Amino acid sequence: MNSFQPLQSRYVLPSFVERTAYGVKESNPYNKLFEERIVFLGVQVDDASANDVMAQLLFLESDDPDREISIYINSPGGSFTALMAIYDTIQYVRPDVRTICLGQAASAAAVLLAAGTKGKRLALPNSRILIHQPSVEGIYGQVSDLEIQAAEVQRMRELLETTLAKHTSRSQEQVREDIDRDKILTAEQAVEYGIIDEVLPYRKLSAQKS
Active site residue 167: no
- Angle at alpha carbon of residue 125, lines to 124 and 129, rounded to 5°: 75
Q: What sign results for the dihedral spanned by CA atoms 193, 123, 37, 67?
A: negative
Question: Which one from 79, 107, 127, 167 is the annotated catalytic residue?
Answer: 107
CB atoms within 10 A of CB 130: 18
Active site residue 3: no
Distance, in Å, from the CA atom of 81 to the CA atom of 83, rounded to the nearest integer, reads 5
Query: Concatenated DSSP letters for 121-142?
Result: EEE-TT-EEEE-PPP-----S-
Residues 6+ apart with CB under 8 A from 185: 128, 129, 130, 131, 193, 195
Residues 6+ apart with CB under 8 A from 66: 94, 95
Within 13 Å and on the Cβ side, how many CA atoms surround 40? 12
Catalytic residue positions, numbered: 107, 132
